[in-house]
Amino acid sequence: MFLNFRLMEEVDARAILEWNYEPPYDIYNASLSSIEEDVRTMLEPQNCYYAIADEDNDLVTFYRFGQDARVPGGDYSAPALDLGSGLRPDLTGQGLGLILVNAGLEFARVTFAPSAFRVTVAAFNKRALRVYHKAGFLDTQSFNRADGREFTILMREALAMSMYLTSNL
């Protein structure tokens, strides 16, 4: 699958904010009251948002790299590049997760050269947790956000990336 990573543009941000997930994944749906603020956040260069399109230039997923991928309440003191992502709702459950995670990790490794990667996932999101475990991430922490929702922080070393990709081709 060909994937084109590009810095987030306004048209991408607005399309992503229109994505509508079914329960229980509807926690990822954008709030109508904050659309303009969310667009500005996604376009701020320091937030490192990227849109990822397929060979037909259709938006399939997005990534954010850095502090904006963190969830308030977690311990982020260990050095690592934080990653957050979202998959277009009609593509969920089709077995694309590991391909897209590995592509995001490789892009991040080349672009940011981190020593480690870190993701924070809602604990109920078993699909995402399964994909990140398959990609070599290990659970390092669980915590509850201020609203009581539980999250899991997972990490993996960046140096293991090339070895992992080679062994899983």
pLDDT, tens digit (0-9, with 9 covering 90-100), for 67-105: 999 999 999 999 999 999 999 999 999 999 999 999 999
pLDDT, tens digit (0-9, with 9 covering 90-100), for 8-57: 999 999 999 999 999 999 999 999 999 999 999 999 999 999 999 999 99
Integer Cα distance of 130 and 153 in angstroms? 13
126-134 vs 97-112: helix crossing angle, rounded to 10: 60
CATH number of 4-167: 3.40.630.30
Domains in the chain: boundaries? 4-167
Neighbours of 103 (CB within 10 A): 18
